[in-house]
Amino acid sequence: MTQISPLVALVGNPNAGKSALFNALTGARQKIANYPGVTVERKSGRASFADGRSIEMIDLPGAYSLDPDSLDEAVTRDVVLGKLEGHRRPDALVIVLDAGNLDNHLRFALELIAQGLPTVVALNMIDLAERDGLRLDAQALARALGVPVIETVAVRRRGLEPLMTALDGALKKSPVVIEPVATSFGAQNQRARDIARAAIISETAGRQWTRRLDAILLHPVGGVVILLALLFLMFQAVYGWSEAPIGWIESGFALLSDGIKNVMPDGLLRSFLTDGVIAGVGSVIVFLPQILILFLFILLLEASGYMTRAAFVMDRMMAAVGLSGHSFIPLLSSFACAIPGIMATRTIMDQKERLATILIAPLMTCSARLPVYTVIIGAFIPASSVGLGIGLQGLVLFGLYIAGILGAMLAAAVIQRFVTQSRTSSFLIEMPRYQWPRPGDIAINLWQRAWVFLRRAGTIIFAATVILWALLSFPKAPDGSNVSQVEYSVAGRIADGLEPIVRPIGFNHDIALALIPAMAAREVAVSALATVYAIDAADEDAAATSLGPKLAADWSLATALAFLAWFVFAPQCISTIAVTRRETNGWKWPIFMVSYLFALAYAAAGITYWTARSFGL
């Protein structure tokens, strides 16, 4: 007889260390999906009791109460109350409390306990609380709350076994039916504070690391300088640190390609494998190191607690364009990928601000643009130094990021003024204590991001590459024809139709050709170009040289710059459009987004091209 294993939900305030506890309990084997009907990410995993019986565990979005302010909080409420359609109600709750923050977090815990589900409280981050000079009486707290209270330090795996044992005990007891007590928010708060006070044994002024660090990182002038320096370091690192691993991946694919050429006779299948699959997918996978470096920085900033400080520093500037520091976090995530960025807007309380943030998120330079930027910059911008150890290539890349940011700010101002017609924005956020990020947690997250990227490369990009290869390979140009294979193929003919439209902004036939499959995802533009040039190459040797020099020989600098400008704005990503549709419940906003971004892309590329031409480039 098979038995469905119990479902246990981890629930608590944001910054209580919920995710770290979830990682510690379930290990690296986690499943990420969405809750039914909404796009809130559902993280689940398996944990087991000492005797081997296992339970399913879910990590609910952080919330402050069961009376939601945001979409994330609404999901937490619906799951806890068993009201989310298509999702079973948890059999038990593990309430994660920040031990150092009892007076603020206990109110929500009381609200949760009142739901009558079997409950265990994890008094988490007890070590940080002790560092801050706080000594707590877990037993007294358990008596006051009426549920087991276990001291845990998730990041050091402390208290996990007692927690599981207590959970097992709670699950075995029959659920209590509790009469809902209608108490005011104020009364709940008062009770929470009374309980917290009773649980504190002693309180001394601890080492106030957070406060001291904040004095530096939130400094009215220094804080801005530090944030800008961090961002600059991040983008330089994306370039500098990735050079060697990119080289390894490139040589790996070259070896693979040569191997196939050695064992297979020349023919359609060999062309499909080397020119299509390896050239196409390989040219995208090569950017994995850069994407991982970018995500590493973002994950570190988040886990250390700095991210909300960055939001604090940026709030006033964001307010100037009708947004707030809240938008800064989703927008910064969008530098890695607009999809998690757009999903992160769910924490924005103000719905107009949320919509505006979604609409400008694709303007943040996501990692999918890096392949495009890197190839073009590598081919056209000399690797010289402008002094102070700053490379010209890195500087141009930085400029492209800035162009995206300025475009986004302008768009935000116009959208908030004329489209959403929002008058105010708000900024109200908890700033967690600083913490050393735990390498294990960062590694799990990084692995999940890498996996998502590789899966994309393996599916969307692979499919687009294969289709493009076929479109480029058929029909075959007759022998001795002076029309090249690319021009003769189906794709060449489609591009013929597109070419007159993009000719005025300096784009040639090959670019027109690459733009078609790049609608699926921006980085496909690179693999498309690689495929186009590999197939058009007269001999094997020419095909073996990498894409950059070919572009440098074929394109004018003005065209290359226009191509870069195009990709600063162009909304070429099916997934982003799809997620915008889901998050805004309809086609109205994705259509608006795609239209204004294409218009901007066309204008920017045109202006860039003709300006460059007038300088004789």
Partner 1 sequence: MQLDHLPLNQIAVIRAIDWESLPDQEGHRLRALGFEPGVTIEALHKGILMWRDPVAVRVGRMTVALRTKVAAAIDCELSA
Give residues in contact with partner 1 (CB under 8 A): 64-65, 67, 69, 100-104, 107-108, 132, 134, 185-186, 189, 210-211, 214-215, 218, 220-221, 223-224, 308, 311-313, 315-316, 319, 324-325, 349-350, 424, 426-431
Residue 388 vs 428, nearer CB to partner 1: 428
Nearer to partner 1, 243 or 430 (CB): 430
Residue 388, by phi and psi: left (phi above 0), alpha (psi -120 to 50) or beta? left
Per DSSP, helices labelled H in 537-573 are 540-544, 547-554, 557-569
- Please say which residue, 49 or 209, places its beta carbon nearer to partner 1: 209
Exposure of 86 by Cβ count < 10 A (0-12 exposed, 13-18 middle, 19+ buried)?
A: exposed
Nearer to partner 1, 90 or 223 (CB): 223
If the CB atoms of residues 197 and 588 are measured against partner 1, the closer one turns out to be 197
For residue 309, what are the CA distances in angstroms to 210, 359, 430? 11, 24, 10
Q: How far is the CB of 352 from partner 1 (least distance, A)?
A: 12
In terms of CB distance, is 70 or 531 closer to partner 1? 70
- Output the smallest distance, CB 205 to partner 1, in A: 12
Identity of the residue, 313 or 339, whose beta carbon is nearer to partner 1 in the bound complex: 313
CB of 13 to partner 1, least distance (A): 9
Cis preceding linkage at 475, omega within 30: yes
Would you say 601 and 501 are in contact if contact means Cβ atoms under 8 Å apart?
A: no
Nearer to partner 1, 178 or 215 (CB): 215
The two structure tokens encoding residue 286? 């090569």
**Radius of gyration of the CA atoms of the chain, in A:** 27
Angle between helices 557-569 and 369-380 (to 10 degrees): 160
* d(C-alpha 234, C-alpha 242), whole Å: 12
Strand order in the sheet with 41-48: 30-34, 41-48, 54-59, 7-12, 92-98, 119-124, 149-151
Neighbour tally for 25: CB within 10 Å: 25
Q: Are the C-beta atoms of 469 and 276 separated by less than 8 Å?
A: yes
Residue 208: other Cβ atoms inside 10 A: 14
Q: Which is nearer to partner 1, 210 or 527 (CB)?
A: 210
For the chain, the first-to-last Cα distance in angstroms comes to: 75
Residue 431 Cβ, how far from partner 1 at the closest point, in Å?
A: 4
Alpha carbon distance 526, 372 (integer Å): 6
Q: Give me the DSSP letters along 297-335.
A: HHHHHHHHTHHHHHHHHHHHHHHTTT--HHHHHHHHHTT
| Residue with Cβ nearer partner 1 (210 or 576) | 210
- Residue 153 is given by DSSP the state B
> Measured from the CB of residue 333, what is the shortest distance to partner 1 in angstroms?
19
Q: In residues, how long is the chain?
A: 617
Q: Between 354 and 522, whose beta carbon lies closer to partner 1?
A: 354
- Find the shortest distance in angstroms from Cβ 409 to partner 1: 17
Which residue's CB is nearer to partner 1, number 132 or number 275? 132
608 contact partners, CB below 8 Å, separation of at least 6: 506, 558, 561, 562, 564, 565
Name beta bridge partners: 45. Answer: 30, 57
Q: How far is the CB of 227 from partner 1 (least distance, A)?
A: 9
Pick the closer one to partner 1 by CB: 202 or 614: 202
Closest CB to partner 1 among 87 and 433?
433
- For residue 230, the minimal CB distance to partner 1 (Å) is 15
- Give the H/E segment covering residue 124: strand 119-124
Q: Give the DSSP H/E element, type plus range, for residue 10.
A: strand 7-12
State in angstroms the smallest separation of the CB of 30 from partner 1: 28
CB 359 within 8 A of CB 424: no
Minimum CB–partner distance for residue 356 and partner 1 (Å): 16
Distance CA 509, CA 467 (A): 18
Of residues 167 and 321, the one with the C-beta less far from partner 1: 321
Instruction: Report strand pairing: 7-12 vs 54-59.
Output: parallel
Alpha helices in 88-125 (DSSP H): 102-113
How many other C-beta atoms are found inside a 10 Å radius of the C-beta of residue 411? 22
Minimum distance from residue 426 beta carbon to partner 1 (Å): 5
> Smallest gap, in angstroms, from Cβ of residue 15 to partner 1?
9
CB of 65 to partner 1, least distance (A): 5
CB of 613 to partner 1, least distance (A): 40
Q: Least distance to partner 1 from the beta carbon of 228, Å? A: 11
CA-based nearest residue to 107, from 119, 116, 118, 95: 95
